[in-house]
Amino acid sequence: MLTNHHAILAGVFTLRFKHATKLKPNRQPDFKENGLKIWHVENGFICISPKRSFPYGNCRFIFTYPVAGDIAYLCTFEEIEPGSYRTPRNSGSVQIATNKNPVPLRSAIGIIYKELNKAIKYHSRINEHTKVLHNYATNSILSERGKLSPAYMYNGVLYVLYVDYKCLRAEYKELVSKDDIVKLYEFVNGQNSAKWNLSFGFTQEYFMNLIENIDK
């Protein structure tokens, strides 16, 4: 197990930040830029990030839970995994709630994009007569968020607001699980930007921002 921060960053590794921590070092970050802060600590890395996934050095930093504000996350040396320079095209699949069977990652992009935009459309039509169906997800999100939004990332899971065509009923349902969201982010960040834009008609950054900021 490598325990040298610079050796890790010079290698090719995946760092998954799974643990929110209040124990931020009492010193300036070892790296700081545009809201990103990284500390080299005794048992790993502590990071505050404005993004859920990004390259740093030769490594990939990935956050299991949503990032916001001044939340610091820890990745211990034991959790660092070997990485790769590029995610193979069309590798793997994810389960989307709207599909019976797992969907190839490339196909999943279009499905999720469609579901999020559909949620935005129907959210805009909600009125005072729309009844909110209080399932577990809806209750939890309303308690934390305080209002309905087209979609929301709760405990790392992407939930979408489903509304019937007449806008009489609305509720949140899971769209993509926490593990599959992380897999999706890795895939998106591993794609060639020029080929991506030709395939989808929107940028990788736009797609990621759609997921991360749809509740704003």
Domain span at residue 60 reads 5-82
Per DSSP, 51 falls in state S
Q: Which of 82, 116, 137 is the last residue of a domain?
A: 82
What is the DSSP secondary structure assignment for residue 190, as one 8-state letter?
Answer: T
pLDDT category at 158 given cuts 50, 70, 90 is very high
Give a yes or no: residue 31 inside a domain.
Answer: yes
Burial of 175 (0-12, 13-18, 19+ CB in 10 A): buried
Nearest CA to 46 out of 9, 19, 83 is that of: 19
Are residues 203 and 100 part of one domain?
Answer: yes
Average pLDDT over residues 102-130: 92
Neighbours of 9 (CB within 10 A): 18
> Does a structural domain hold residue 205?
yes
Beta-ladder partners of 104: 93
Q: Give the confidence band of 98 by pLDDT, cuts at 50, 70, 90.
A: confident
> What would the mean pLDDT of 15-32 be, rounded to a whole number?
85
Whether the model pTM is above 0.75:
no
